[in-house]
Amino acid sequence: MFEAIENELLVPFDGSFKLSKVSCKPPKKAPGKKKAKRMLADKIDELRDLQRVLYASDHHSVLLVFQAMDAAGKDGTIRAVMSGVNPAGCQVYSFKQPSSEELDHDFLWRTAKCLPERGRIGIFNRSYYEEVLVVRVHPGILDNQRLPFRPDSLDDLFDQRLESIRDHEKHLARNGTVIIKFWLNVSRDEQKARFLKRIDDPSRNWKFAMSDVKERGHWDAYMDAYQDALNKTSRSWAPWYAIPADDKPYMRLRVAEIVVDTLKSLPIQYPTLGDEEMAKLSDARDALVGD
Q: What is the pLDDT of residue 273?
A: 87
Q: Distance between CA atoms of 191 and 185, rounded to whole angstroms?
A: 10
77-128 residue pLDDT tens = 999 999 999 999 999 999 999 999 999 999 999 999 999 999 999 999 999 9
Question: Which CATH superfamily, name and number, covers 19-289?
Answer: P-loop containing nucleotide triphosphate hydrolases (3.40.50.300)
Q: How high is the mean pLDDT of the chain?
A: 96
Other beta carbons within 10 angstroms of residue 74's beta carbon come to: 21
21-69 residue pLDDT tens = 999 999 999 999 999 999 999 999 999 999 999 999 999 999 999 999 9
Tell me what the mean pLDDT of segment 208-228 comes to: 94
Contact (Cβ atoms closer than 8 angstroms) between residue 8 and residue 239? no
Helices 154-174 and 219-233: crossing angle in degrees, nearest 10, is 40
At 82 the three-state DSSP class reads coil
Dihedral class, residue 128 (left if φ above 0, else alpha if ψ from -120 to 50, else beta): alpha
Residues 6 or more apart whose Cβ sits within 8 Å of residue 115? 61, 63, 122, 172, 177
Q: How many alpha carbons fall within 13 Å on the CB side of residue 93? A: 16
Residue 96 burial by CB count (10 A; 0-12/13-18/19+): exposed, middle or buried? Answer: exposed
Residue 126 DSSP code: S
The structure's pTM equals: 0.95
Q: What is the pLDDT of residue 213?
A: 87
Highest mean predicted confidence (pLDDT) among 95-104, 176-185, 270-279: 176-185
